[in-house]
Structure formats: C-alpha cells, structure tokens
Structure 1
Amino acid sequence: MTFVSLSLPLRPRTTRMRLNPLFSSPTNGAITLVLIGMILWIGRPVLDWAVLDAVWVGTADDCAASDTGACWAFVGEKLRFILFAFFPQDLQWRPAIATVAVLLLLACSAMPRFWSRRLIGVWIAALTAACLLVSGVVAPPIVSTNH
C-alpha cells in the first residue's frame, strides 16, 4: 500500500488582500494617506474634548468651571428628560419598551446571520407595536401632546 501525502494550498495573505485596494495606484495611495491624516487630525481633538478632558460627574457649576471638555454630567442628569421629555413618569415604561425593542432590532439587523425576508416582517411588526404602545392605543391612557 502506498500513502500519498497532499499538502494544503497556501492561504492568501489577508492583510495584503485588504490593503491592496487602498494602495493599488499612486492616486489611491495618496487618497488613503490624506484620509488617514484627516481622521487623525480631527479625531485627536474630538477624543480630547469628548473623553479625556470631559466632566463625567458633578453639577453644572463643575462643567462651567472646567470649560475644556464635554459635560457628560449634564447629560446624565437630564437623561430622563432627553429620552422621555414631558411623558408622564408613571407611563414612561411604554416608550422605554419601544426604545429597547428598536435597539434590539438594530442589533439583530447588524448581524448577517439574521438577514432574511423574515427580518423585514419583524421590523414592520415591531415598529407597528411600538407605535401602538407609545400612542396609548394598546395600553391606555392616551398621553396628550400639547405640553
């Protein structure tokens, strides 16, 4: 009996395959380098403002005193109003459920394993249910919009 040994084919280098379109010509290479430079040029000040120099906890006075970065303390303090505005506090569970449902659907839509025709139907059903839930048709009372 004779044994035959077959070698596996070499796998292509994925790094080269991914970078090839970015540097396939001098023009593409120049555009790529300019865009990387712009991202770094704009990204560093945004990172400093939004994260490194930001005020994360405190009051509005703490934010005014620092005067350098984002005031996430204000966002945290006003988050309920940002999300629900003048919606009555005892009924805020309705828009909260609708918001969580839409966020879960967005997460599912970002994963290719869920991509099918059924996802379209689930979106239609979920958005319809969210609208009915928030409007008060399914779970009374109806909240007036004249605030």
Structure 2
Amino acid sequence: MFADAVERGYFTHNPVSGLRWTAPEVDDTVDPDCVPNPVQVVRLLEAVRRLPGRGPHLYAFFGCMYYAGMRPAEVIHLKKAQCRLPSSGWGLLNLKGGIVTAGKEWTDDGAVHETHSLKRRAAKATRPV
C-alpha cells in the first residue's frame, strides 16, 4: 500500500518499511463451559420454535448451526434442494456457498448481500454435512 504511494510520488519513502509485525497465535479450541450441552440445546431450540412470527425459521436456522456445524452465512444460503432429510434419523445437507452482507458500497452490482463460495474452499466446491 505505502509502496504504491511512494511510486506515485505521494511519499518520498515508505514510512513503515522497517516495521516488523507477526500475527499473534490464535487458540482455536472451544471452551466446553461456553457451549450448551445437548439437553440445553433442545430446550433452547424448543423455546425459539414457540416464538411468534419467525420462531420456526429461527428454530431451523439455529438447529442447522448446532447439529450440522454450519456457519450463519451457509445456513442463509441453504436451499431445500440441497437437503436430503429422511422422515426420521440423520439426513444430509450439501452446502454450496454462503450469503454475506457486504454493503452496497462494496458490491459490484450495488446489492447489500453477496453469494460467496464456501470458506477456504475452491469456488465450486461443496461440503456435505
């Protein structure tokens, strides 16, 4: 960034050329004390499902996040055709992307939302869960 400014004549030299910085290590582990247990999740989801209006929608949304380990953007992008749901037992969801809110100033077509590929995957990759 600053190299471009020097090249264009905005600066005589790069003011951060001697700066060295390394990203701090990140602990990606989840603290089990912060995650609800299966009994608590059932109670939480049932309470959400009973909410008037969007309750059933949010029940499905949070259920996908908990039981399938989906990101919010993936749940929003999920279509019925991607779901193989038996009448009982576990099913299969074939994830194909996510809907993210970028803001109309940051999208090519002025839309508020953009469809992206799955995080850290090739553009057309899918993820079965």
Structure having the higher Rg: 1
Fold shared, TM-score > 0.5 on shorter chain: no
Greater share of residues in strand: 2
Shorter-normalised TM range: under 0.3
User: What is the TM-score with the length of structure 2 in the denominator?
Assistant: 0.24
The alignment's TM-score, normalised by the length of structure 1, stands at 0.22
